[in-house]
Amino acid sequence: MNQLARTALVLAGAGAGAAVLRRAASARRRAREDGERWMVVTIDRAPTDVMPHGDPPSPLDEFGDALEITVRPAPGDRGTELAARLREPTSPASASLPSRLAGKDPRQGVRRALREAKSLLETGEVMLPDAPPTGRGDTVGGKVVGLASRRAGGEGVL
């Protein structure tokens, strides 16, 4: 390959990389400008069962007017999507990694409430994991498992 073609290839790659970085930065900026992101769970129930009288499920109802809640049919006729987000944007300090690890991020409560609402609507009770026998805390492994179990209650996977 000659020198001119090699230089053109390098410049094209650098331009593409710059475009990707610019697009990612603008997406982050738009997310900040748009406010908080929606947190969504899919519930295996009809939309009329999720909010029968217009009232949110009890775990989400505890937030009062602090939450914006929507209900819509899930794609592919797979139940209902229950979405929630805080009305007031969270500060960057409260959404930082140290705040999340310490359990101080206000969005963690919304995630927990969504998981509990899903569990209540699908099974009638809030499903909690059994305490693992290795979580006694008298070993290094037990301490790690205990820490992970306590942290999962606030962050979890939606």
Check whether 62 has a pLDDT greater than 50: yes
pLDDT (tens digit per residue) in 16-43: 887 777 876 665 665 554 456 899 999 9
Q: How far is CA 39 from the centre of its chain?
A: 5
The confidence score (pLDDT) of residue 34 equals 46
- Cα–Cα separations (whole angstroms), residue 50 to 54, 72, 104, 116, 130: 9, 10, 29, 13, 27
Selected residue with higher pLDDT from 11 and 75: 75
pLDDT (tens digit per residue) in 86-128: 888 877 777 777 777 777 788 888 888 999 999 999 998 887 6
pLDDT (tens digit per residue) in 63-78: 888 899 999 999 988 8
Q: How far is CA 122 from the centre of its chain?
A: 20
Question: In terms of Cα–Cα distance, which of 126, 122, 148, 123 is closest to 135?
Answer: 148
